[in-house]
Amino acid sequence: MSMIKKILELPRKPVLIMIRLYQKTFSPDHGFVKILFPYGFCKFTPSCSEYGYQVIAKHGLIRGVPIGIWRVLRCNPFSKGGEDPIPNSKLEETRYK
C-alpha cells in the first residue's frame, strides 16, 4: 500500500472506532441492552450502525458519511425495512428506495 493511500485512510479510523464503541455499549442490536431485544431492534439488515461502519470502511468519510446518514433517515416507522446492501458504485448510491 502506498504512503499516500495510508495517509488518506487515516481519518476514517477514529470514526470507525467510535462506531464500534457505540455498538459495544449503547446499540440495541449489538450492545449490552441486546438482552432487552433478543430478536433485534433494527428493521434493516445490516443494522444502521453496521451499515455506517461498512460504508465508511469501503468508501471513506467523504462518500460514506452521506450514504450512512441517508440510511438513518430511511429508518422510520413508515419504511418497510429489509435487506439493504452496501452500494458498490456511484450509480448504486443514487438509487433511492
Other beta carbons less than 10 A from residue 20's beta carbon:
15
In this predicted model, which residue has the larger pLDDT, 69 or 91? 69
Which residue is associated with the grid cell 476514517? Answer: 12
Look up the domain containing 9 and give its range.
3-93
Q: What is the pTM of this model?
A: 0.80
Do 34 and 28 form a contact (C-beta atoms < 8 A)? Answer: yes
Q: What pLDDT band is residue 27 in, cutting at 50, 70 and 90?
A: confident
Q: pLDDT tens digit string along 71-90?
A: 999 988 888 889 999 988 65
9 vs 72, residue with greater confidence = 72
Q: How many residues does the chain have?
A: 97
Q: What is the pLDDT of residue 71?
A: 92
* 8-32: average pLDDT: 89
Q: How many domains is the chain partitioned into structurally?
A: 1
Q: Residue 1's pLDDT is what?
A: 60
pLDDT of residue 94: 52
